[in-house]
Chains A and B, each alone.
Chain A
Amino acid sequence: GEDVEQSLFLSVREGDSSVINCTYTDSSSTYLYWYKQEPGAGLQLLTYIFSNMDMKQDQRLTVLLNKKDKHLSLRIADTQTGDSAIYFCAESILGDDKIIFGKGTRLHILP
């Protein structure tokens, strides 16, 4: 079946790197995404990676994909207070409208 799992909570000190992990089950995934949801706001697409890629870097964000283990991670370098949010991992399936979301990881920034 389709399932996306991620830990629910992560605390990181300001200035450190945050690593948010995700696992998915469907091997026919085409794209994998990271969305950010700030309090009172909708989901904002941060970055995505095509399933035949291993890594994608965009400024402070690095996405790593291990297709063999069906593991996706998001690394945020030099974490700032503005990074405090819920981060959702998601996958889309070839030929399907659906995007399957995880439950989200709440990132808490410690001073």
Chain B
Amino acid sequence: ETGVTQTPRHLVMGMTNKKSLKCEQHLGHNAMYWYKQSAKKPLELMFVYSLEERVENNSVPSRFSPECPNSSHLFLHLHTLQPEDSALYLCASSQERLSRGEQFFGPGTRLTVL
């Protein structure tokens, strides 16, 4: 595997379910990001991790809980989501934070909340 991978690629869940999204980067980068891509809206940065420490949380609801166990892996734990949370969730990584914005993106997880 090369680059940034995400699993699952598609996820359908009910509002009472708990699920997790996984991201893995094989680039040796130190920073990882979660973005939300909704239809007809700009990409929204949700979380930033640098060297496994969270450095930014853009006022994301607590029903989204990130976890970064090491610099290669990033998770997004989901619980009691709402239908408006349906979106494409993109993971990205970069060599360092603030590193000229050369973020490498994964293919995304298409999430549907029923």
Q: Which A residues contact B (CB, under 8 angstroms)?
A: 4, 8, 31, 33, 35, 40-45, 48, 88, 90, 92, 95-103
Contact = CB atoms under 8 A, between A and B. Distances in A.
A43 B42 CA distance: 13
Contacts of A92: 98, 100-101
Given A42-B90, A90-B43, A97-B98, 20 more contacts: A8-B40, A42-B92, A42-B106, A43-B90, A45-B104, A48-B100, A48-B101, A88-B43, A92-B101, A96-B98, A97-B48, A97-B55, A97-B97, A98-B56, A99-B43, A99-B103, A101-B43, A103-B40, A103-B41, A103-B42
Q: Which secondary structure dominates chain B's binding surface?
A: loop
A101 B41 CA distance: 9
A43 B6 CA distance: 13
B42 A33 contact: no
Nearest to B56: A97
Given A42-B90, A43-B90, A99 B41 contact: no
Contacts, number: 58
Per CB-CB distance, the 9 closest pairs between chain A and chain B, nearest first, are A42-B105, A101-B43, A43-B105, A92-B101, A101-B42, A42-B107, A97-B48, A42-B106, A99-B101
Nearest to A89: B42
Contacts of B40: 8, 103
Contact of B108 (A42, A88, A101): A42
A36 to B, nearest CB: 10
B101 A42 contact: no
